[in-house]
Amino acid sequence: MQELSEMIAKIRQEIKSGVEQLGDSRAVYEFKKTFLDSKAGKISQLMKEMKNIPAEGRADFGKAVNELKVWANSCFDEIDTRMKEKEAKLRYESEKIDITMPAQKRITGKLHPVTQVRNQLIDIFASMGFEVFEGSEIETDFYNFTALNTPQDHPARDMQDTFYLSPEFLLRTQTSAGQIHVMEKKQPPIKILSPGKVFRSDDDATHSPMFTQMEGLVVDKGISLSDLKGMLEVLVQRIFGEGTTTRLRPSYFPFTEPSVEVDVSCFECKGKGCKLCKGTGWIEVLGAGVVNKKVLENCNIDSEVYRGFAFGIGIERLAMLKYGMNNIKLLYESDLRVLEQIDD
Ligand code: DAH
């Protein structure tokens, strides 16, 4: 009996000093098990001693072991609560979010500037009722030149240095070739837009052997140059902002008569004169004109009944003006530092 109460005291002491050493709730759990595990626990083992106790001492022994058990449980509960509070505090500390920190920048892909301008143009023209016709990049000499009133040996052929694939086939130098395909297939009214890549043997800061154009063609009864001017005003205001106006200057293209060069009032200096417009207040943006009767006739459209206007826009040129770029190569080098800045 004496021996057993010494054992109880020893266990108490063991628990008391043991809990001081515990570092976390996991250790508490393991330590508690060494005493209270229903089979191997030291206190549970004590209970098994009951049968060796003389009958008159059993009640006291049972009581003492029970008290030890209750005390041990509350002791472990207390240390367990303390450990769990400490652990929760540490976790909250590590999961703390500083809401004043700037958000992480997400890099998202964007459409290429040429595609952005192309889509903007298509949107603007589609709202005016234009349909898109995409021609092919390999053309015949006939569609690219002859049918556009530029027969062999015509001096206007020198305006465009052509990549010939054979005497008959070439890489189209202008989307104007699409005009002929459309007019061959369809009688007026015609209102089409033809975007696409074109190719010329030309290479400097503002020219590239491959670039993108957007052709427009309207053929109907009673069309005049003022319809073209009206449409262009809408176009430039949507692209360069309200207050932008246009100016038509006489020019020459074999497939239009009269032909014009279209300037927009400088959107940078509002016409006062700056570096961008070279002090003139105007910037050249596209070529246009009234469709030459010969071209209509080449496509079997009655030029006495129908008239049309056409225009051709260089998309890279428009993009360079819009985004303030001075070298066309910036559009093709895929330098993310450049491309990331452009998003309309
Ligand atoms: N095809 C011409 C070029 O590439 C641009 C052009 C001018 C197209 C006048 C037209 C037009 O439709 O009417 O330089």
pLDDT tens, position by position, 185-228: 999 999 999 999 999 998 888 889 999 999 999 999 999 999 99
**Whether the Cβ atoms of residue 254 and residue 148 lie closer than 8 Å to each other:** yes
- Residue 5: per-residue pLDDT: 80
Kindly give the distance from the C-alpha atom of residue 28 to the centroid of ligand 1, in angstroms, as a whole number: 86
Number of H helices, E strands in the chain: 11, 9
pLDDT(150) > 90: yes
Kindly give the distance from the C-alpha atom of residue 323 to the centroid of ligand 1, in angstroms, as a whole number: 23
- Do the bridges between strand 169-171 and strand 246-253 make them parallel or antiparallel, or are there none, so unpaired? unpaired
- Residue 217: per-residue pLDDT: 98
Atom of ligand 1 nearest to the CA of 309: 13
- Residue 109: per-residue pLDDT: 84
Kindly give the distance from the C-alpha atom of residue 258 to the centroid of ligand 1, in angstroms, as a whole number: 12
User: Which token pair is 77?
Assistant: 């509960």
113-339: in CATH 3.90.1150.10: no
Mutate to test the pocket of ligand 1, among 206, 311, 313 (most ligand atoms within 8 A of CB): 311
b/e burial code for range 275-298 (CB count within 10 A of at least 16 → b): eebeeebbbbbbbbbbbbbebbeb
pLDDT(172) > 80: yes
**Backbone φ, ψ for residue 160 (5° rounding):** -130, 115
User: By C-alpha distance, which of 237, 253, 256 is closest to 245?
Assistant: 237
- Residue 1: per-residue pLDDT: 61
When the pLDDT of each residue in the chain is averaged and rounded to a whole number, the result is 91
User: Which token pair is 209?
Assistant: 């052997």
Domain positions in the chain: 2-95, 113-339
pLDDT(114) > 90: yes
Kindly give the distance from the C-alpha atom of residue 51 to the centroid of ligand 1, in angstroms, as a whole number: 112
Three-state DSSP string of 166-214: CCCEEECCCCCHHHHHHHHHCCCCEEEEEEEEEECCCCECCECCEEEEE
Residue 112 is classified by DSSP as -
Question: What mean pLDDT comes out for the span 21-48?
Answer: 88
- Residue 294: per-residue pLDDT: 96
- Residue 145: per-residue pLDDT: 95
Strand partners, 138: 171
Range with the largest mean pLDDT of 44-53, 215-224, 241-250, 260-269: 215-224
CA nearest ligand 1 atom 5, residue: 312
- Rounded CA gap, 56 and 206, in Å? 112
Question: What mean pLDDT comes out for the span 15-43?
Answer: 89
> What's the pLDDT band for 148 if we cut at 50, 70, 90?
very high
